[in-house]
C-alpha cells in the first residue's frame, strides 16, 4: 500500500487507492484502516478513488472493477459493467462526482454511472481524435466537459444532443498549443482551463492553448485547483516538486522538493491548506517543513520473489533485482497490527549497498540470510543486520563476473546437521562456487564440477547431501541437477570428490531445474520446467527417480511440503496440491477460483508455517496466505488449544483441536462423565469435531471436556469447551 494511485480527501480523512488495496487515514488520530479483497474489494490493484455526496466511497481498478463502500455499514457493492465488457483495455483511471452522476475516465473513454440506481447511462469513446483515446482526467466547467487524454484535450457542451458522436467534440493537440499530446490533468484558475501534460503546463485562451514557460519540459503528474492558485505536481529523475501557479504573467512559487521518491497523485483537504502527495514507494506525504510520510504498516512493495518462514513463524521475503528490488521484509504475525511488517532497505541500512535483494534463506541459530544481486549477502540476527559478506570480508566471496571482482551474487544459503552454513557463490570467477562456513567462522571453499557455477539455490537433505538448482523463471539454462556430499556417501561420487550430476538423460523430466524440496520422508522433490520428479533414495539418486504424472508438462517454480507430506506446487498457472507420493491432485488454486485472494497465478515461492498451519505464496503482485489443516505434530501432548470457545452448534465450521501429538484419538465427554463422541484425529496435529454425538445428533448446550490421548496410552491432554445450541 505504499504505491499510491489516487487520493480522495474529506474534511477529516483521506481515502487512498494503492496497488495493494484501499486504506483510510485519519490525520487527527493517526489511525489507518485497510481494505483488500479479503474485506470485499474485487481487486487490490486500485487506480482511482472518489467520495460522492452521500459519503459513499468509490474505487476503480486496473482490470475494470468498480466497488462502492458504505462506511457506516461496512458494506461493499460491486459494479461489473466495465469489467465484463468486451473491451481489451478497461482500467479505471479517474472519477469525477457531479450530482447523481459519476464520470468515469477509462482506458477507452468516459462512462457515466447514475449513482442512485447503480446504472450506466452513456459511454463516450469517440472524442474527436483520429483514434480512441484513454482518458486521464475529467473536469466540468461552464457547462462543458473537458477531458485530458493520451492524445490531447477533448471538450464538448454537456448538453449536446449526442455526446457519443465525435462531431460533438473539439479536439486539441500540440498543433493547438499543447506542450505534449499526453495530458494527465485538467483544472481551472480564475475561470480559465489549465491542463498538465507530460511536457509542461498550458492554459486555454478560448481558442487554443498557450504553454506556461516556467513549466516547459516538466513531466506534470497532477494539478490541484484552489481558490487563488493551482498546485502543480511534477516528477524529475527519482524525485518530485510542488509549485504554486497563480497566473500566466506571474512567476511560479516553489512549495517543496522531494529527493527520495516520485509522485503519483495529489489532493487537498477541504477547509485546510494541507496538500497531500501520493508517492510511488512511500505512501502519502505532506510537507510541514520536512516531508512526513503516512502508510499502513506493510511491506515495501508488492514484489515477493522469494519467501521463507523461520522457526518462530516469522515470514521473510525478498523483492527482486534489475533495479526493481525494494530490499527485503519480515512479517511477524505475533506482533501488533502496526509492527508486524519491518522493511530492510538501503536507505535505512546503508550496509546493504543496494535494494536488489532477491532471495532469503534460513541460517543457523535463528539467523536469516538475504542474498543480493551484486552486493553479496547480509545476515540478520534478532531483527538486526549483523554483517554483510562480500569479496572484502572474512569469509570472503568471489566476484561473479570477470570484469568486476566486486560484483558478488549469492544463490542461496542452507545449514547442515552439524550447524555449518553453506553459501552458493553464484558463478564465482575463481571456481569456488560453494562456501562452507563452519562454526567459529573457519571457511572451506568448494570447487564444483559445474562449468559456470550458476547455482540458483541450495537444499540440504537428511544425509547432508547438498542439492543445487540451476535455473529460475527468468533464466532457464539446461544445466541439470548437481549434488555434493563431502563424505562421498552418495553412490557414484567417490571418484568425483563428492560431486554428482543428473540431467534428463538420467530420468529427470527436464534438465532445467527450477525448485527443490525435501519431504517428510526425506525424499528429494525436484521441480523442472516440464514437471516434478521425486528421488526416493537420495543416496542412490540415479536409481530412484520417479516422475510424477499429475504434474507432467507444468513449470514447477516452487515446492513446499506440509505436515502430512502433501506437496504444494507453484506453477505459472497457479497452485497444485498433490498427495504424499504425488500421484493424485488434491486441490488447485488460481486467481479466478479464489476470487482474487490468490493475487497472481505466477507463483514464485511458497513457504510453510508448520506451527500455525499457514501456506504463504509469493508472487510479483503480492503475497497470499492460506490456512491449512495439517500443522507440525508435537512429540508429546500438552495443554490443548480448542476453539472457537464457546462453540455454537449446529455450525458449518467445526471445533478445531490443536497441539496434538502424532497418532492421537479424541474423546468428547459430558460433565456427568458420559462419552459423547470418540474419533481419531484427522492428522497433522489437529482434530475437528462437528458438535454431534456418536449418533449424529447435535449435542445440547452445556460444558464438555475434550480429552486427547496418544495411541500408546501414555500421554494425555485435556480442555474444557462451552457448547451453545442455537
One DSSP character per residue, 300-362 reads: SSS--SEEEE-TTS-EEEE--STT----EEEE-TTS-TTTSEEEE-TTT-GGG--S-EEEEEE
488 within domain boundaries: no
Q: With a cut of 70, list the residues of the chain below it in pLDDT.
A: 630-639, 683-684, 712-715
User: What range does the domain containing 63 cover?
Assistant: 1-125+266-271
636 within domain boundaries: no
CATH of the domain at 54: 2.130.10.10
Same domain, 114 and 173: no
Asked if residue 266 lies in contact with residue 7, where contact means CB atoms within 8 angstroms, the answer is yes
Same domain, 165 and 105: no
Helix, strand or coil, per DSSP, at residue 98: strand
Peptide bond into 644 cis (omega under 30): yes
86 within domain boundaries: yes
Tally of structural domains, the chain: 3
For 56, residues 6+ apart whose C-beta sits below 8 A from its C-beta are 68, 69, 70, 71, 115
pLDDT tens readout for residues 61-107: 999 999 999 999 999 999 999 999 989 999 999 999 999 999 999 99
Report field, pTM of the whole predicted structure over 0.85: no
187 within domain boundaries: yes
Sign (positive or negative) of CA dihedral 122, 123, 129, 133: positive
Same domain, 119 and 130: no
Give the domain-ending residue among 250, 271, 292: 271
HEC string for 186-245: EEEECCEEEEEECCEEEEECCCCEEECHHHCCCEEEEEEECCCCEEEEEEECCEEEEEEE
Same domain, 69 and 79: yes
Same domain, 131 and 253: yes
Residue with cell 500408546: 712
Give the domain-ending residue among 223, 250, 271: 271
99 within domain boundaries: yes
pLDDT at 636: 47
Same domain, 139 and 93: no
Asked if residue 459 lies in contact with residue 518, where contact means CB atoms within 8 angstroms, the answer is yes
Question: Is residue 428 classed exposed, middle or buried when 0-12, 13-18 and 19+ CB atoms within 10 A define those classes?
Answer: buried
For 351, residues 6+ apart whose C-beta sits below 8 A from its C-beta are 378, 385, 388
Same domain, 155 and 191: yes
Peptide bond into 323 cis (omega under 30): no
Give the domain-ending residue among 245, 271, 297: 271
Sign (positive or negative) of CA dihedral 382, 396, 343, 608: negative
Asked if residue 497 lies in contact with residue 489, where contact means CB atoms within 8 angstroms, the answer is no
C-alpha–C-alpha distance, residues 721 and 709, integer Å: 17
pLDDT at 641: 84
pLDDT at 38: 87
Same domain, 135 and 121: no
Same domain, 67 and 140: no
Where are the alpha helices (H) located in 45-188, listed in sequence order? Answer: none
For 346, residues 6+ apart whose C-beta sits below 8 A from its C-beta are 327, 352, 353, 354, 355
For 385, residues 6+ apart whose C-beta sits below 8 A from its C-beta are 344, 349, 351, 352, 378, 379
C-alpha cell at position 292: 512526513
Asked if residue 432 lies in contact with residue 398, where contact means CB atoms within 8 angstroms, the answer is yes
Same domain, 678 and 691: yes
253 within domain boundaries: yes
C-alpha cell at position 446: 568448494
CATH of the domain at 645: 2.60.40.1930
Pairing label, strands 75-79, 92-98: unpaired
What are the respective helix, strand and coil percentages of the chain, to the nearest 5? 5, 45, 50
178 within domain boundaries: yes
Same domain, 142 and 114: no
C-alpha cell at position 220: 506534470
Pairing label, strands 92-98, 101-106: antiparallel
Same domain, 48 and 106: yes
Q: How many CB atoms lie within 10 A of CB 488?
A: 16
Asked if residue 4 lies in contact with residue 283, where contact means CB atoms within 8 angstroms, the answer is yes
459 within domain boundaries: no
DSSP 10: -
Amino acid at each position: 500500500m505504499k504505491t499510491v494511485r489516487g487520493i480522495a480527501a474529506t474534511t477529516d480523512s483521506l481515502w487512498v487507492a494503492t496497488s495493494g488495496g484501499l486504506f483510510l487515514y485519519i490525520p487527527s488520530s493517526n489511525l489507518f484502516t485497510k481494505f483488500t479483497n479479503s474485506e470485499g474489494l474485487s481487486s487490490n490493484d486500485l487506480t482511482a478513488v472518489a467520495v460522492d455526496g452521500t459519503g459513499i466511497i468509490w474505487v476503480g481498478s486496473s482490470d475494470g472493477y468498480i466497488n462502492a463502500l458504505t462506511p457506516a455499514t461496512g458494506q461493499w457493492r460491486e459494479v461489473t459493467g466495465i469489467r465484463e465488457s468486451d473491451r481489451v483495455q478497461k482500467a479505471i483511471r479517474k472519477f469525477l462526482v457531479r450530482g447523481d452522476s459519476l464520470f468515469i475516465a477509462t482506458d477507452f473513454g468516459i462512462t457515466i454511472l447514475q449513482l442512485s440506481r447503480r446504472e450506466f447511462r452513456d459511454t463516450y469513446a469517440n472524442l474527436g481524435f483520429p483514434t480512441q483515446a484513454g482518458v486521464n482526467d475529467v473536469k466540468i466547467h461552464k457547462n462543458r466537459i473537458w477531458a485530458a487524454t493520451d492524445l490531447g484535450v477533448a471538450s464538448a457542451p454537456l448538453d449536446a444532443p449526442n455526446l457519443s458522436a465525435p462531431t460533438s467534440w473539439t479536439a486539441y493537440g500540440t498543433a493547438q498549443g499543447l506542450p505534449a499530446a499526453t495530458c494527465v490533468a485538467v483544472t481551472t484558475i480564475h475561470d480559465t482551463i489549465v491542463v498538465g501534460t507530460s511536457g509542461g503546463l498550458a492554459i486555454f485562451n478560448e481558442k487554443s492553448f498557450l504553454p506556461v514557460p516556467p513549466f516547459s519540459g516538466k513531466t506534470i503528474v497532477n494539478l490541484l485547483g484552489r481558490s487563488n492558485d493551482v498546485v502543480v505536481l511534477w516528477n524529475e529523475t527519482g524525485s518530485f516538486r510542488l509549485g504554486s501557479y497563480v497566473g500566466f504573467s506571474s512567476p511560479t512559487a516553489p512549495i517543496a522538493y522531494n529527493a527520495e521518491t516520485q509522485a503519483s497523485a495529489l489532493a487537498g483537504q477541504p477547509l485546510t491548506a494541507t496538500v497531500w502527495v501520493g508517492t510511488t514507494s512511500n505512501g502519502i506525504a505532506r510537507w510541514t517543513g520536512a516531508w512526513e510520510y503516512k502508510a499502513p504498516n506493510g511491506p515495501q512493495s508488492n514484489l515477493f520473489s522469494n519467501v521463507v518462514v523461520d522457526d518462530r513463524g516469522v515470514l521473510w521475503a525478498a523483492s527482486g533485482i534489475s533495479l526493481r528490488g525494494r530490499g527485503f521484509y519480515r512479517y511477524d504475525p505475533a506482533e501488533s497490527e502496526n509492527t508486524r511488517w519491518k522493511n530492510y532497505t538501503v536507505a535505512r541500512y546503508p550496509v546493504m549497498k543496494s535494494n536488489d535483494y532477491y532471495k532469503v534463506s534460513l541460517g543457523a541459530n535463528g539467523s536469516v540470510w538475504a542474498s543480493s544481486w551484486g552486493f553479496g549477502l547480509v545476515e540478520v540476527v534478532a531483527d538486526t543486520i549483523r554483517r554483510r559478506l562480500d569479496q572484502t570480508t572474512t569469509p570472503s566471496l568471489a566476484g561473479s563476473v570477470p570484469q568486476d571482482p566486486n560484483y558478488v551474487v549469492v544463490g542461496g544459503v542452507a545449514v547442515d546437521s552439524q550447524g555449518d552454513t553453506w553459501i552458493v557463490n553464484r558463478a564465482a570467477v575463481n571456481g569456488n562456487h560453494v562456501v562452507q562456513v563452519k562454526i567459529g567462522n573457519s571457511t572451506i571453499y568448494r570447487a564444483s564440477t559445474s562449468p559456470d557455477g550458476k547455482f540458483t539455490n541450495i537444499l540440504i537433505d537428511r544425509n547432508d547431501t547438498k542439492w543445487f538448482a540451476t535455473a529460475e523463471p527468468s533464466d532457464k539454462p539446461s544445466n541439470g541437477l548437481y549434488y555434493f556430499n563431502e563424505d562421498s556417501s552418495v553412490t557414484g561420487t567417490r571418484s568425483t570428490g563428492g560431486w554428482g550430476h543428473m540431467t534428463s538423460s538420467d530420468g529427470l523430466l527436464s534438465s532445467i531445474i527450477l525448485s527443490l524440496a525435501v519431504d517428510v520422508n526425506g525424499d528429494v522433490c525436484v521441480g523442472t520446467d516440464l514437471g516434478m520428479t521425486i528421488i526416493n533414495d537420495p543416496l542412490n539418486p540415479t536409481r530412484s527417480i520417479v516422475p510424477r504424472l499429475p504434474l507432467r508438462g507444468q513449470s514447477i517454480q516452487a515446492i513446499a511440503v506440509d505436515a502430512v507430506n502433501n506437496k504444494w506446487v507453484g506453477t505459472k498457472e497457479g497452485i497444485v496440491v498433490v498427495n504424499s507420493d504425488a500421484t493424485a491432485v488434491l486441490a488447485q488454486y488460481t486467481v479466478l477460483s479464489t476470487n482474487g485472494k490468490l493475487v497472481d497465478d505466477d507463483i514464485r515461492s511458497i513457504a510453510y508455517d508448520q506451527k500455525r498451519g499457514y501456506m504463504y505464496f509469493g508472487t510479483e503482485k503480492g503475497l497470499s496466505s492460506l490456512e491449512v489443516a495439517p500443522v507440525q505434530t508435537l512429540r508429546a501432548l500438552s495443554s490443548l488449544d480448542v476453539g472457537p470457545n464457546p462453540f455454537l452448534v449446529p455450525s458449518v465450521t467445526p471445533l478445531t483441536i490443536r497441539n496434538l501429538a502424532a497418532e492421537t484419538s479424541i474423546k468428547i465427554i459430558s460433565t456427568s462423565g458420559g462419552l459423547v463422541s470418540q474419533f481419531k484425529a484427522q492428522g497433522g496435529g489437529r482434530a475437528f469435531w462437528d458438535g454431534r454425538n456418536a449418533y449424529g445428533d447435535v449435542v445440547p448446550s452445556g460444558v464438555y471436556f475434550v480429552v486427547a490421548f496418544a495411541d500408546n496410552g501414555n500421554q494425555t491432554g485435556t480442555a474444557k469447551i462451552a457448547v451453545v445450541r442455537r
